[in-house]
Structure 1
Amino acid sequence: MKEYQRCTRCIMDNKSDLTIIFDENGVCNYCKDALNSGAKIYFPNKEGEIKVNELVVRLKKENSKRKYDCIMGLSGGLDSSYLAYLGSCWGLRILGIHIDDGFDTKISRNNIMKLCDKANIELITINPDRKQYNDLTRAFIMAEVPNIAIPQDNILFANLYKYARKTGVKHFLSGGNYALECILQKGNTHNAYDKVNIKNIHSKFGRYPIDNLELISDQQRFIDKYILKIESLRPLNYVNYNRERALKELSDFCDFEYYGNKHHENYLTKFIQIYWFFNKFGVDKRKSHLSSMIISNQMTREEAIQELEKPLYDEEEMNKLVNYILKKLDLDQNIFYRIMDRPGKQHNEYKISKFSKFLHTIKR
């Protein structure tokens, strides 16, 4: 067993990460990669202002005869909400897509409604078939794979591309960003577009059909991206994106309310982020999030360590959340806790799309 080591610049460590590498000064590969990529993709300066202006002009010009300039997925979380707010300030006509999977918090629902109302964003809310969606999510838990949010993500992507094709608008604004996400621990994940993997897992552990769920495959996404030229843009990389300032601006603009931590705007994603990953795979997602903020100079390493020393969650509150999730998914507690006692599996222990493998090989 390797001796425990934590990066001397950020707080990534080798506790649950077999890919991390440290140099002679104890600095990890995540830091180096993030700092190297930052110079190429993150422009929190005048150059970023120019890029924003150029982007806005292009979107308005290319969509001058359409009803919208761009499409956005809205979760009620900080990243997408702040980008939607900025987009409205830039004068963009935004079509918002929200997937109501039955696990939204009241805070996130209110955030979305207040934001869309104040920013004049037309909102389409998609309600996946509850019985089928819950059964698919339950199947992913039964499969014991890391990324049990794949059904949620895939349905969002399927609808984003669907409305892009339907409206002719070929531009998504994504809340993905460098400032708060430049470090993401590798491993314990899988391509959310792998429809083969989704269906194989469901065929083994599902109980009901999932024919009413809108899913997208790697092949369809390839067609959308490379043939239809539908592009995903990340404008938050062109602004000085600071979490506290963004929260203040949103609060002033539409009485936006923060929900505690990254991805906690949805009960299911909160469960996945702080319970499933940690207790099943030993992954504390806070390390990536806090390390990203160190790299983007929003937090010192000492502050991040202090934050990490706090309990990941309150036991009583988490027990309530777990029971809520299990009840919604119709998953027996005894079965669930037996699952939690076993080592996790990986997505490639189930059938994987050959096209997905091919794309992964090309990217590498």
Structure 2
Amino acid sequence: MIDVALLGIIRRWYIRDRISIREIARRLDISRNTVRRYIRSDVSEPAYPARRSPSSLDDFTAKLSAWLSADAVKSRKQRRTLKQMFLDLRELGYEGSYDRVAAFSRQWKVGQMERVKSASKSTRIEEKKGDYKIPLHEFTKHALLGEYAYFNAHSSLVACNLFDISSADPREHFLASLVVAYLHSNAPLLDNDGFVAGQALISEMLRHGFFEDQIRHALRKLATKRLIETPHAHYRELPVDDHELPDQFHYRATSVGIYHIRYWSASFAFLDAVSTDTPIFDDDARAEVVKYAASFDIEKRYRKADRFRRYLETQWHAFSFNENYYNFVELLAAQDHTFTAVKTVIDRGALQPRR
């Protein structure tokens, strides 16, 4: 039986986008013979939506979607097979067939691919002069801000404010980054699956002058936001009581966490977003960030982000962190081009302040 929705995706990828049969099969998790069968099929794609009939899976699609989403960010070894998900649904009362679950999984993956493709298109922000506008990557914007105009730690879909603190200690601005960087480095002793014992991780951070409460707060936050993970996804999927110490678990950095510390956290977009969400211990720096906090004007946003960047660099030097696995100054230098790009546009007078 030919699934016309899947047929449209496969033909579009193969004919228009010139994606190979092997790659299409990998993306959709189906065999290459199945891809060939869809490409050669005489079935035409309808110009109208297919009629929707009730399905025995309807009551379980939310649960299945949640499982598929959770598995999407796990390593291959940690993921459940679709067969296991089918059996778990049976335990919850699902009485339908495995084929229906497999079909839903394929459509879910297609939907994810289409959303990523759509989100990857550049959009344009409003500040402009004449016909010129600054491109803004919509995926980055949505990942940072969620549905809000400003960064909100609870609504941001992916981003985690690495510079936020739990105590009145500016040293803590760098604790989260140091944790992720340490887990990603060759410094710690790893188990067979690449995890580091919580006690060893805490000992390393104590060596930098942090307190146990600060470290534990960071571990809980990072695990909840998927920047680090335990073997069984504690905090993210398995709730952990507040009285239970995170010391007992093992951790490793995720791809989300690595992206934060290597590419994102020193960029203009990230610092612009989180500057107003971070306690600042320098009066002048705090006053300038607060002054421009509510503005959408690109020049004022640049001043705000640049002042916050200089504040963080000063704090980094003040505490003399000296570790091979993380150097904030080098990260700033690597992402300086993101500030230069914005500054170049401002200097050309391409943008005018809003009135």
Structure having greater relative contact order (Cα 8 Å, sep ≥ 6): 1
Q: Which has the larger radius of gyration?
A: 2
Q: TM-score range by the shorter chain?
A: under 0.3
Taking structure 1 as the reference length, the TM-score comes to: 0.24
Taking structure 2 as the reference length, the TM-score comes to: 0.24
